[in-house]
Structure formats: structure tokens, C-alpha cells
Amino acid sequence: MAMKRAATSAIRAFSSSSPSSPGSSGSSTRFLHASAESKKIVGVFYKANEYASLNPNFVGSLEGALGIRGWLESQGHQYIVTDDKEGLDSELEKHIPDLHVLITTPFHPAYVTEERIKRAKNLKLLLTAGIGSDHIDLKAAAAAGLTVAEVTGSNVVSVAEDELMRILILVRNFLPGYHQVINGEWNVAAIAYRAYDLEGKTVGTVGAGRIGKLLLQRLKPFNCNLLYHDRIKMEPELEKQTGAKFEEDLDSMLSKCDIVVINTPLTEKTRGMFDKERIAKMKKGVLIVNNARGAIMDTQAVVDACSSGQIGGYSGDVWNPQPAPKDHPWRYMPNHAMTPHISGTTIDGQLRYAAGVKDMLDRYFKGEEFPAQNYIVKEGKLASQYL
Ligand SMILES: NC(=O)c1ccc[n+]([C@@H]2O[C@H](COP(=O)([O-])OP(=O)(O)OC[C@H]3O[C@@H](n4cnc5c(N)ncnc54)[C@H](O)[C@@H]3O)[C@@H](O)[C@H]2O)c1
């Protein structure tokens, strides 16, 4: 399936792309060069076990291995896949000293720390099968002269659709009703006292990039008041089409919202952005959807606000860390509608990011550039929104 990339402006443009300027951070020179030799490529994916054989298009799993094994091996490359990613005894760790390319995925993130990068003497390329490379120490990757690239745009529709679903699940107080049915109960009042229509509510997205824009487009027919906050104002035509109003000041937007959706990457600026103080300034009973990254929230502040009613409902599929441990407090807080990290790994999304990874590997073997919007770290520099 052809990869579909959102045709938005080059928000990940680099301030400089000169191959001879590896940055000011004393970067070494492991920059990407084509070479005909056989490469050792390691992929870290979630294990599908008994589900692996149920769908031939299930390529995002360990067993599916992005559907590129035959293609890689026919060219003489070595391709190792594992789901064992944590700690010095892990399968991944065994391959760190001599791998050339590491493919990771946000759905089962292999945390690529500065220490791992230092030990990975042959590593040149880190590819993210999906979107969001915050599981990689990007500064350390830049300093080591590594290239980090993701499949920009690959699963943005998957995530935007999922966000719309989560908004409706929270607004309609859907999950308690479902649980009643499972548990043999029938109590309309217990659901109805806090179930609302979406129409007429104020919905704000924090971040209106590819996913945020698709969400706004999908919300338009629901007749809400749409707001967005971003470091960049969107094209006037899209503002007109969606009817979404730009809010330069984040807190000012948040104080107006009945529903807030988070759509920024996890960066140094967005880490912990929703802390106790910020959440306290939001409308009482606000509904929050976060499919962006768990660490954008202060974990305990979310638990406390869900318990006090300051947050009326919290839904998302991203956690810190992943997989979420059994005792992660978000599993047990009231009024949540959390799932494992799933929104961007629909079969359609998997096929698109698998195709995108294959395309970048092919370009790497041929010594060709990647699509500009895919680069997160290139020639010692981070993409602009990570600076
Ligand atoms: N749950 C999933 O399965 C899943 C899948 C894909 C992406 N994601 C997450 O969603 C994020 C967004 O994806 P996207 O494709 O829309 O990315 P994008 O780069 O197209 O959009 C991100 C937007 O956030 C804005 N932004 C960045 N830093 C900001 C800040 N400090 N303040 C305000 N705005 C800021 C950018 O200007 C940009 O418009 C990804 O980085 C990833 O973390 C999750």
C-alpha cells in the first residue's frame, strides 16, 4: 500500500542541512553513507503470539517483522527481531555492539539511551516504525552523528479517528454502561447523570500538526466550538474550513475547554506540561484525551485530579513507561478509559509504516536522502520542534 503523508508545511524543517556542519555539540561523524556491504539490522516489536497467524497483514508484530525479512535477506543483510528490550541481559543488548540499523516502534519502545548509543559502535541509523521518537535519547544520537527518522504521517488518520472515539466515549459516559451490561446490572441513572451531547461543547487541541488537524476536520460536523494551541498558526484556509480558532496562550485556551486533546510530541518543552498547577486552572470536570505521550502528563497529578473530579474523564493509549507495569496508578484511577498503546497500530497504520520503513532502508542502501519530513535527527541536528 502506498504510503500516505499529510501535505502540510515543512514543520520539521532543519535550520541547516549542510552535510559538513555536524552541529555545535561536538558530534562525531557516524553520518549516513551508502555502502554495498551486508548490514546487521535489528528490529524491536511487540510479540503477537497466538494472534500472529490470524491476519496476513499483521506486519507490525515481532512475527510479522514489517514484512521485510525476505527482501532484506535476499540482499544479503542480516535481520534479527526481538521483543526483549530491557536491561543488560536482554536480546536487544546482545546485538547493540555490532548492529548497523535499529528499527524500533513506539508501541513497544526500546529505550535507546546515551549508554546504549555509546556501546553501539557500528550504529548509523535509527528508524521508528511509526511516529514519535522520544524513546530515543535524541541529543545523544545527534552528538554521536546518528540519523533518526520516523514514518511521518503514517498513522495520523488512525490516531485522529481513535481520538474522536475516545472523546465520545468520555462525553457519553459510555464505559460504565458497558460494564453494567457485563456485570448483569441495569441502572440508567448511574450513567445518565453525567452523560452529555458533544454538540455545543468547547474542544481544544494542544498541538495542531498532522493529527490535530485531522481531528479538527473530523470534529467539524459535530458543531462544537473548536480551539487550537500550537507553536505555529495553521494555514488560514484550514482555519476557515474547520472553524478552529487559534489560541496563542495555552492556559487561556485550557480555561475555556470542556474537552482537551493533546497532540504534541514529547519534547523537553512538553514533558510534564500538564502538572498539578496547570490541571487546577482547567474547567472543573474537564475531559482529557491523550494519545500523544504519557510523559506529557504528571502521572500523579492526573490520578489526583481524576479522584477529586477536577478531571471528569481521562482517556488515552500512551503511558510512561511502556508496557505499563501492573501497578501503574492510571490503571486504578476513577473515570478513566485507558487502553494499551494501540491507536496508531491498526492494520492500515502498520501497512503504511512498514512501507515507510522499507522505503527508507532502500534509500539508505542506495545512498539516497529520505523524505525531508521524516528526519528527527540529521547531521547532528534535531528537527525544529525538538529544539
Ligand atoms: N498513540 C499513537 O499511536 C501515536 C501515533 C502517532 C503519533 N503519536 C504522537 O502524536 C504526536 C503528534 O503527531 P503528529 O503526526 O501530529 O506530529 P506533527 O509533527 O505533525 O504535529 C505536532 C504539532 O505539535 C506542535 N508542537 C510541538 N511542540 C509544541 C509546543 N511545545 N507547544 C505547542 N505546540 C507544539 C508542532 O508545532 C506541530 O504542529 C507524535 O509526536 C507522537 O508522540 C501517537
CA of 220 to the centre of ligand 1 (A): 20
Distance CA 73, CA 264 (A): 37
Taking 70 as the pLDDT cut, the residues of the chain under it are: 1-36
Q: Of the residues 12, 100, 155, 374, which is catalytic?
A: 155
pLDDT, the chain, mean:
92
Contacts of 296 (CB under 8 A, 6+ apart): 262, 264, 266, 270, 271, 272, 273, 274, 290
Q: Of the residues 12, 77, 108, 293, which is catalytic?
A: 293
Q: Is the CB of 232 under 6 A from ligand 1?
A: yes
Q: Is the CB of 175 under 6 A from ligand 1?
A: no
Record the cell numbers describing residue 65, joined without a space: 517483522
Residue 326 phi, psi (nearest 5): -60, -30
Q: What is the DSSP letter of 65?
A: G
Distance CA 118, CA 103 (A): 17
**Amino acid in position 51:** Y
For residue 109, cis peptide bond before it (omega within 30 degrees of 0): no
Distance CA 109, CA 85 (A): 8
The domains spanning 9-154+345-382 and 156-338 adopt the same CATH topology: yes
Contacts of 115 (CB under 8 A, 6+ apart): none
Q: Which residues are annotated as a binding site?
A: 131, 155, 210-211, 230, 265-269, 291, 317, 341-344
Task: Characterize the bridge pairing of strands 101-104 and 125-128.
Answer: parallel
Closest C-alpha to ligand 1, atom 41: 265
Q: Is the CB of 204 under 6 A from ligand 1?
A: no
Record the cell numbers describing residue 273, joined without a space: 506540561
Q: What is the pLDDT of residue 1?
A: 38
For the stretch 83-113, what's the b/e string if a residue is b when 16 or more beta carbons lie within 10 angstroms of its beta carbon?
Answer: bebeeeebebbebbeebbbbbbbbbbbbbbe
Q: What is the pLDDT of residue 37?
A: 87
Closest C-alpha to ligand 1, atom 19: 209
CA of 249 to the centre of ligand 1 (A): 18
Q: What is the pLDDT of residue 29?
A: 60
Closest C-alpha to ligand 1, atom 11: 265
Q: Of the residues 173, 290, 310, 322, which is catalytic?
A: 322
352, 151 contact by CB (below 8 A): yes
Residue 42 phi, psi (nearest 5): -120, 135
- Regarding the domain with residue range 156-338, which homologous superfamily does it belong to in the CATH classification? NAD(P)-binding Rossmann-like Domain (3.40.50.720)
Edge-to-edge order in the sheet of strand 259-262: 245-246, 225-229, 202-206, 259-262, 286-290, 311-316, 336-338
Q: Is the CB of 233 under 6 A from ligand 1?
A: no
Distance CA 381, CA 387 (A): 9
pTM for this predicted structure: 0.92
112, 326 contact by CB (below 8 A): no
Cα-atom radius of gyration of the chain, to the nearest Å?
21
What is the domain partition of the chain in residue ranges? Answer: 9-154+345-382, 156-338
Q: Where does residue 183 rank: exposed (0-12), middle (13-18), buried (19+ CB within 10 A)?
A: exposed
Strands (E), 243-310: 245-246, 259-262, 286-290
Atom number in ligand 1 closest to CA 12: 19
Phi and psi based region of residue 6 (left: phi greater than 0; alpha: psi -120 to 50; beta: remaining): beta
Q: Is the CB of 208 under 6 A from ligand 1?
A: yes
Give Cα separations from 210 to 8, 157, 164, 223, 341 (angstroms).
7, 9, 15, 21, 19
Domain 9-154+345-382 is in which class?
A: alpha beta
Distance CA 264, CA 294 (A): 11
